[in-house]
Chain A
Amino acid sequence: MDNIVPEQARTALDAADRARRQVAEEVGLPRGYWWAMAAGWILLGVLGNVLPPWLAGVATVGFGVGHGVLAPRLLDGRRRTDRLQVSAAVAGRRTPLVVVGMLLGLIGVTVLVALALDADGAGHAGIWAAVLTAAVIGFGGPEMLRVLRRWARA
């Protein structure tokens, strides 16, 4: 230990920190999860348009329950790939909250877009709003989560 100068120690600490950050970047949800979510979003938009309101409500609750069953295993973001499992300490306890907050935000966006389209006189406003949100989720879900995690320091 005597022959380690502070500069070497600092370099070693940087290397260890870099390795940790590389693992932290692996936090997220599997790609298939986002596409399944997008498909579910469109399905709900269609059902909301063709079904009676009470039945559309049941479908929405079913979607929520299905998500609730699947989510506990995935929302902590530690199993994005099958190549490693990020430790709980690195994934952070706030990641599930960020995912839930993001989904609630997307629901809000869907409702607002549907209302705007409806006010503009568009037909099937709910479906178009759902398709728009689904595209955002499918194509940009992982990136959005990454940015939100950075903002929330999760």
Chain B
Amino acid sequence: MRRATCAKWGASAVAVALVTAGCGGGSGASRSGVVSASWGDPQNPLEPANTNEVQGGKVLEMLFRGLKRYNPKTGAAEDVIADRIATADSQNFTVTLKDGWTFSNGEKVTAKSFVDAWNYGALLTNKQKNASFFQYIDGFAQVHPDRGSPRAKTLSGLVVKDEKTFTVRLNQKFSSWPDTLGYSAFMPLPQSFFRDHDAWIAKPVGNGPYTVDSYEKGSVLRMRKWGNYPGDDPARNGGIDLRVYTDSNTAYTDLQAGNLDLVDDVPAAQLKNVKADLGGRYINQPAGIIQTLAFPMYDKRWGRPGAEKVRRGLSMAIDRDQITREIFQRTRTPATDWTSPVLGADGGYKAGLCGAACEFNPAKAKQLIKEGGGLPGGRITLAYNADTGSHKDWIDAICNSINKSLGEDQACVGDPIGTFADFRNKITARRMSGPFRAGWQMDYPLIQNFLQPLYYTNASSNDGKFSNASFDKLVNEANAETDAAKAVSTFQDAEKVLAAQMPAIPLWYQNGSGGYSDRISNVALNPFSVPVYNEIKVN
């Protein structure tokens, strides 16, 4: 009797194991002509106005085309759906659309597709994280008040004239505003988005070169070429499979094993071997990202007059060249201004604008800090978040460099903060007591985007709460300037205020780095360090 029971137990345990084990399986879609690429799980649902990070952004770039698009090589804003964006006064714009554009479900792209999408993005109750991108449009304060409920459902500055035309009234002069329209928050949306939001989120429908084939959240997003795509930049491959990796090391291993075609984030630990592993299939090129150390200007010790000498001195105490070489294996370039080389000279990048303050000079550094009253309390801490991005290495290197320059062992120490959320909380609550890690990835390739959101009084990403009347005045003048070259040089004048005041120390420009298999070719990164997926060819 008992023996029989025992056997039954054993047998059923094995059966359970087999059934559970066997219920997986099932092969993926066919791989011919399809590129598989590494991906990170996007933080938010894939809505244009709700996507504010790179991983979701790269999908939107494949699924959508807007009024403008940033040229993947030069970064220049070029008309796509916009036929003309006309203005007489840099404040009132008339947008005319091209014919022949449809969404992949057959619906026409009209002026209403844009106006409805922008109204949706701006309305407070929709809780879109990019709502602030619509702040320059008239009526934003009504649909998105700082407190309380919205007093209007739609932006008063947006008016649909006919199927192909709409007008935009801004609440201030902003001559380069049309150039911001390539950002994903400004993409058009089909009516199906508003009719059945949940279904749309599960399987987004756009008007770009790809359509969504299937989306298993958290693991894989399969996109296929849209055959009827009306634009002149159709997909040159059969599709893209974006596979979520939690660890960039595993993605790199998969690339080596021939399991994956493209990684757009080579792990720091592999940078030493990547050239030997991949040869010419390794990409390392400038991206619109700058890393800085920001000072808490709200802290009396850093905001007082005279402290700018200490800040400039600290900047001079950092050996950028050595750190970018030793720690980053030249995937960063020492910064000499507050923008990025991807802007180009015409776009506002000016090498050396920071001047002597960004050159390594230990003797001068020591002298300046002394003149400025010395380090507050005799020492500084550099705050960073310790959970992602291996920031510890370079923070320690900077401290090391500062300590050596000043000839004091304990002048600078790193201050790790457990999580990114906590780090951000401390910054927004103005609880930083010393310089902290800051970085900026551009939203659009304009010099304005590197200066105004970061250093204008009370701007959205002005983490150090820097406030300077002449900087603000120059930025306002530059925005109102209709001549592009004049606007850029005025922005550079504003940048010179930063060089004198040093509210944030420019450290280095970050490069995009990627690697690919010999199965694919024609791989390049755009100025946002995102691969230009639709141009990739499968050999």
Q: A and B from one assembly?
A: no
Using CB atoms and an 8 Å cutoff, list the residues of chain A in contact with chain B.
none
